[in-house]
Structure 1
Amino acid sequence: MRYCLIFIVCLLPLVTQAQVEKPMTWDSLLGLVLQHHPVALQAEYVQQSGEQGVRRARGAFDPQLFGYYDQKQFKDTDYYRLLDAGLKVPTWFGVELKTGFEQNQGVYVNPEATTPTDGLLYAGISLPLAQGLLMDDRRASLRQAQLMEKMTEAEQLLMLNRLVEQIAIDYYAWWEAYYQRKVYEEALALAKVRLEAIRAGFLQGDRPAIDTVEAYLQWQTRLVAWNEAQLKWTKTSLTLSNHLWYDGLVPMELEESTFPRVSIQAEAPMQMTEDSLLMFRKEIIQNHPELQQYQWKIEQLGFEQRLKAEKLKPKVNLSYNFLSERTGVPLAENVGAFNSNDYKWGLTVSMPLLLREGRGDWQITKLKVKEAQADRMQKWVSIENKWLSAYAETQTLYRQAGIYSQALSNYQQLLNAENRRLEIGESNLFMVNAREMSLISAQIQWAKVRSQYEVSRIQWICASGRATEYLP
């Protein structure tokens, strides 16, 4: 029941019992596919994956509780009991805030680790003065994850683009097969009527027997063509059914009573002046998701290059902690007892002498950036040429469809004239059949060009990389 309601709302010819002819437009099919197709759902999952990657990278800046306890008891001697617990808060600027409680007791506690009986409170910072001051692993990972999120959004658009393009190919192939079947169905019915009429004329003595043979051959020929068209219709229907799903989980099928609805008059393609064409090309280059992916990849490598450059600096880390003796009063009052006379600080410095590893990593990343820039430029040219090619093809096919539409009218006039000549005895069955076959051939060719035009028009839109924004 739930599925039936969905079909009624969407006006889509899916599995029902009533065998009433139901039209399926391109817009209705596209709306259903983009809502329920597994690829559309996968595109959403890709975007969600990018969002979770950012969340994961932000985890490096999460406050962290820590604790350490170590005790040794041997032969009734309390060697030591060491306790250190607290909270670390990393910040975006590389500074790490730290506070905690330390309590060390026992006979053999190292004198420098000795604390008051009630323990020792401390609070301070750890600060990198050279390597890690401007960029560190945490900041680089977060920036790269944020760019990866944008890349997944672009990948989502590309996945939907490819899906829309494939749907267009399959839908208009289905429409072309449907139109051809209708043409051959009408031609077959006409040949059947003519055959019966000629048989009747033969029985009455008005027609020679050879005319019945010719009429029968015409009917057989059109029957073969109709069977082939019927097979093509069946195959294209099954191919289109591959795109029909419910929630990406339940496959649907087209009914035989479902047929495509396409306007006979082709929608005129967008006409552009040289200025508007140039402007639109610039817009595509700036906003095309595939080019944006390359750009964000270059920016990712830029953060990696900055991180590698930081590795060339010496490690100089400063730590400073205020100290306060625990006095047994509430913790908040102990925190207020910190003063500048009680402290602990330290400075660590290290640096490799030749820096070969750091310089090698930096040069490798630099080469990766150049390689990505070259790939982006190549893709830029490829996308631009593909878009221009699709634009030129669309314009040409539109003109071709108009020419074939006019030709159909002319072929129909010739056939009508030949039928009138046949009625007054100035023509014969062979000429009428030749006129009909010319008209049928023109109808089939028109449907082919008309289908190619619609596919080309949608491919031109898809070449912009944002089909879902320009299509209904």
Structure 2
Amino acid sequence: MAKPQRIPTGILYRLATKSCDNEEKMKRIIVFYCLLCSVQSVVAQQKLDFESFKTRVLTFHPVVKQAANTVEIGQQEVVKARGTLDPKLSSEIAGKQFKDIDYYHLGNSGLKIPTWIGVDFKAGYEQNRGTYLNPQNTTPGSGLWYAGVEVPLGKGMFFDERRATIKTAQVIEKMAINERELIINDILLEAYSSYWSWYEAYQKLQIADEGYRFALIRFEGVRQNALLGESPSIDTVEAKIQLLNRNFEKIQAEYNYQNAGSVLNLFLWTDNFIPLELEENTIPQVDATNAYTLGSLMLRSATIDTEKTPIVLQTVYKLDQLKIEERLKREQLKPELNVAYNPLSQPVGNNPFANFSVENYKFGITASMPIFLRKERGGLAQTKLKIENATLDIAYKVNELKQKELILRNDLYQMYEQLAIQKTQVLQSKMLLDSEQTRFNIGESSLFLVNVREMNYLQYQMKLIELEAKMKTLEAKWLWLFSELD
């Protein structure tokens, strides 16, 4: 952060060397300038450092809550899919009564238990009566208990829609967890960029304010020197132009800082999801140091498995879904052959198995198969092509990720080197400014040269701040590639 500067000593030197007739007036001017530059704001400032900002975003931002809900939705998808294995109670009653004739009355209640292996177990009670009852529905007066099993021996024996639904839901749950990482990663990248833009705007405002104070002090000093005959009046014109220019830059910096703060407000929320706004006296942290060295950056890059990054995993999970779909569609090519066997028992009193015999049963076989299987073969071919596309997409994304990582890493290498150079330039430009100021104090330089040196010093400071903010944004983008911002 830019530090307050002292009053240019050359101005005080020239003011102080005026004749004794103006000594008291000069003392008042010097005291005025000292107060102007040394008095700082007494308003207490509170800092919003980067780590505190990051914690608040991760804790309270609505998008982070939405990301958590995405995981919950994925978990409930598994619960819903497992519902296909829920036991099911059923009851069916039908009858016909006409002109006091009981044509028929049918009653059937039962329990069906699906299983993971595709076999369904059934049990129930059936009681039918009536004058015109279909003989196949005839039961004893006390009804019939039955229990049985239905087994697929063709399509659905090794894999069916029930198992496909559950496996797909499990993949969806993984995708939801991965999606959460991607959502949080994206919102953090936006938040990081906004914070460092706010940091940049604040630091530039401090530099612009510093430059304005330099120009104001110099203008007042030159004007007083001109009134005292110590310098030509034309120097006041140059000093005034410089003052107006610095004032313009300061106003622009103030607007930029306000706008950057407004953008940052988008990421500030309470625990009740109420938006917050920065207080006027809130400022960012005062420095921006690089998070890595050239060596540590290379070392960390070498330990990252690009094929397991969330960006790539999202497509990997889609491929897993397609493989489940392919397996199911392969199963559709088989003929449908289901066998059902239900032993029957007439209850006696409270004993439903008193008359149980293996010779009493209901038995059934259902079989079917399309002749050409065009629907099934076409669907399977489509899924195979989708799998091929997903596989190619994974290979492309892995390579794209590697190249983007290399580009960003090279940019960071360059940025770290540029920062080192820029810091040296700031120090050297400050040395030149101090040297020029000394020469000006003893009358060997001009106001123009002092202004030039001072302008260069301020510009180098501005450039340094820009590079620092850009460096932190580049570091965030590099981490964003691997979803490691949190």
The one-letter code sitting in structure 1 at the alignment partner of 2:268 is L
**Hey, what does 1:102 align to over in structure 2?**
126
Relative to 1, partners in 2 of residues 1:182 and 1:380: Cα closer, same or farther, differing over 3 Å?
A: same
- The secondary structure found in structure 2 opposite 1:92 is coil
The one-letter code sitting in structure 2 at the alignment partner of 1:190 is F
Relative to 1, partners in 2 of residues 1:433 and 1:19: Cα closer, same or farther, differing over 3 Å?
A: closer
Q: Give TM-score scaled by structure 1 length.
A: 0.91
**Hey, what does 1:408 align to over in structure 2?**
426
Cα distance in structure 1, aligned partners of 2:114 and 2:128: 26
Contact 1:38–1:247, Cα closer than 8 Å, also in 2: no
**Hey, what does 2:242 align to over in structure 1?**
218
The one-letter code sitting in structure 2 at the alignment partner of 1:252 is L
**Hey, what does 1:423 align to over in structure 2?**
441
- The secondary structure found in structure 1 opposite 2:287 is coil
Summarize deviations over 1:158-206 as a string: whole Å, max 9, x none.
Answer: 1111111111111111111111100010111111111111222122221
Summarize deviations over 1:283-324 as a string: whole Å, max 9, x none.
Answer: 1322x1121111111111111111111111001001111211
* TM superposition shift of 1:444: 0.5
Q: Give TM-score scaled by structure 2 length.
A: 0.88
Match 2:227 to one of 199, 203, 211:
203
Structure 1 residue 297 and structure 2 residue 315: aligned?
no
- The count of residues paired between Structure 1 and Structure 2 equals 445
The one-letter code sitting in structure 2 at the alignment partner of 1:322 is P
Contact 1:103–1:117, Cα closer than 8 Å, also in 2: yes
Summarize deviations over 1:28-50 as a string: whole Å, max 9, x none.
Answer: 11111111112111111211111
Determine which structure has more spread, i.e. the larger CA radius of gyration. 2
Relative to 1, partners in 2 of residues 1:359 and 1:108: Cα closer, same or farther, differing over 3 Å?
A: same
* TM superposition shift of 1:276: 6.3
Relative to 1, partners in 2 of residues 1:273 and 1:435: Cα closer, same or farther, differing over 3 Å?
A: closer
Q: Which runs of 4+ in 1 moved over 6 A?
A: 273-276
The one-letter code sitting in structure 2 at the alignment partner of 1:147 is V
**Hey, what does 2:206 align to over in structure 1?**
182
* TM superposition shift of 1:122: 0.7
Summarize deviations over 1:360-414 as a string: whole Å, max 9, x none.
Answer: 1111111111111112222222222112211111121111111111111111111
Contact 1:101–1:120, Cα closer than 8 Å, also in 2: yes
Q: Note the 1:260-299 alignment, pairs <5 A.
A: 260-263=284-287, 265-269=289-293, 271=295, 277-280=301-304, 283-286=305-308, 288-299=309-320
Match 1:238 to one of 257, 262, 268:
262
Cα distance in structure 2, aligned partners of 1:434 and 1:148: 64
* TM superposition shift of 1:262: 4.0
Structure 1 residue 163 and structure 2 residue 174: aligned?
no
Cα distance in structure 1, aligned partners of 2:364 and 2:311: 50
**Hey, what does 2:89 align to over in structure 1?**
65
Cα distance in structure 1, aligned partners of 2:302 and 2:431: 44
Percent of aligned pairs sharing the same letter:
36
- The secondary structure found in structure 2 opposite 1:239 is helix
Relative to 1, partners in 2 of residues 1:273 and 1:170: Cα closer, same or farther, differing over 3 Å?
A: closer
What 5-or-longer segments of structure 1 have no aligned partner? 1-17
Structure 1 residue 326 and structure 2 residue 326: aligned?
no
* TM superposition shift of 1:140: 0.6
Match 1:386 to one of 404, 415, 420:
404
Contact 2:155–2:335, Cα closer than 8 Å, also in 1: yes
Contact 1:38–1:248, Cα closer than 8 Å, also in 2: no
- The secondary structure found in structure 2 opposite 1:69 is strand
Structure 1 residue 314 and structure 2 residue 335: aligned?
yes
The one-letter code sitting in structure 2 at the alignment partner of 1:285 is E
Cα distance in structure 2, aligned partners of 1:275 and 1:203: 66
**Hey, what does 1:360 align to over in structure 2?**
378
- The secondary structure found in structure 2 opposite 1:467 is coil
Cα distance in structure 2, aligned partners of 1:111 and 1:350: 27
Relative to 1, partners in 2 of residues 1:34 and 1:276: Cα closer, same or farther, differing over 3 Å?
A: closer
**Hey, what does 1:398 align to over in structure 2?**
416
Contact 1:126–1:320, Cα closer than 8 Å, also in 2: yes
**Hey, what does 2:388 align to over in structure 1?**
370
Relative to 1, partners in 2 of residues 1:152 and 1:245: Cα closer, same or farther, differing over 3 Å?
A: same
Relative to 1, partners in 2 of residues 1:62 and 1:262: Cα closer, same or farther, differing over 3 Å?
A: farther
Q: Note the 1:104-123 alignment, pairs <5 A.
A: 104-123=128-147
Cα distance in structure 1, aligned partners of 2:354 and 2:438: 112
Relative to 1, partners in 2 of residues 1:19 and 1:114: Cα closer, same or farther, differing over 3 Å?
A: farther
Relative to 1, partners in 2 of residues 1:79 and 1:311: Cα closer, same or farther, differing over 3 Å?
A: same
- The secondary structure found in structure 2 opposite 1:271 is helix
Cα distance in structure 2, aligned partners of 1:277 and 1:453: 17
Relative to 1, partners in 2 of residues 1:164 and 1:270: Cα closer, same or farther, differing over 3 Å?
A: farther
Contact 1:268–1:398, Cα closer than 8 Å, also in 2: no
Superposition CA RMSD, Å: 1.8
Contact 1:23–1:259, Cα closer than 8 Å, also in 2: yes
Cα distance in structure 2, aligned partners of 1:400 and 1:97: 74
Structure 1 residue 256 and structure 2 residue 280: aligned?
yes
The one-letter code sitting in structure 1 at the alignment partner of 2:319 is I
Cα distance in structure 1, aligned partners of 2:354 and 2:142: 17
Contact 1:151–1:293, Cα closer than 8 Å, also in 2: yes
